[in-house]
């Protein structure tokens, strides 16, 4: 009877943790300088990024414009003389599912044929744009799975 109770507790714990996976998902800032009101810089294209102007959203929640498991930031900047004020610059911050360039941590950069500089950065921590909660959840799920497997193999 004791082993049945232990199995039941392990199963319930795993189901409980799986149900709250989305609640503990990574949070990222989402904004785009192309959506900023004229004369304002909420996404940090020209001024220092002010985190108080945007709220981090759950990347697996309804508010996320793009679902994902890590955060993404793209910067684009035109060469000097590209437009009348010397340089054009845009910034986009959001959740991301996959990287087009194979980078999922750190930054990658380059130049388009027209001379526009681009930089894409990916990270996997809350508002890194700390997903400690997501790491803890993964560890607990692995622990639950391991305990269930050990129990199935009659280790205890």
CA–CA separation, 23 and 98 (whole Å): 21
Q: Which residue is listed with tokens 């004369």? A: 39
- Measure CA of the first residue to CA of the last residue in the chain; give whole Å: 13
- pLDDT for 87-135, tens place per residue? 688 899 998 887 666 666 788 889 999 888 998 888 877 777 633 334 4
**Strand residue runs (E) in the chain:** 27-28, 31-32, 57-58, 70-77, 89-96, 106-111, 117-123
Name the band, by pLDDT with cuts 50, 70 and 90, for residue 76: very high
**Which domains, from first to last, does the chain contain?**
2-152 (2.10.60.10)
Paired tokens of 129: 């744009």
Task: Give 3-45 pLDDT, tens digit per residue.
Answer: 556 666 676 665 555 555 444 578 898 998 888 888 888 888 8
Its pTM stands at: 0.62
pLDDT at residue 124 in the model = 78
Following DSSP, what letter does each residue of 103-120 receive, concatenated? -SSEEEEEE-TTS-EEEE
Q: Dig out the tokens for 107 from the structure.
A: 């930054």
Burial (Cβ within 10 Å: 0-12, 13-18, ≥19) of residue 77: middle
In angstroms, rounded to a whole number, what is the distance separating the alpha carbons of residues 13 and 110? 47
């Amino acid at each position: 009877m004791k082993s049945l109770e232990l199995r039941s507790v392990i199963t319930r714990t795993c189901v409980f943790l799986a149900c709250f996976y989305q609640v503990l998902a990574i949070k990222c800032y989402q904004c785009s300088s192309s959506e900023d009101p004229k004369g304002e810089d909420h996404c940090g294209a020209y001024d220092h990024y002010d985190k108080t102007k945007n709220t981090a959203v759950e990347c697996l929640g309804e508010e996320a414009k793009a679902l994902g498991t890590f955060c993404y930031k793209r910067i684009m900047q035109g060469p000097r003389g590209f437009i009348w004020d010397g340089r054009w610059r845009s910034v986009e911050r959001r959740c991301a599912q996959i990287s087009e360039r194979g980078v999922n941590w750190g930054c990658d950069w380059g130049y388009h044929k027209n001379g526009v500089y681009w930089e894409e950065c990916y990270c996997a921590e809350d508002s890194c744009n700390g997903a400690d909660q997501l790491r803890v959840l993964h560890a607990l799920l692995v622990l639950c799975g391991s305990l269930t497997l050990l129990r199935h193999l009659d280790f205890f």
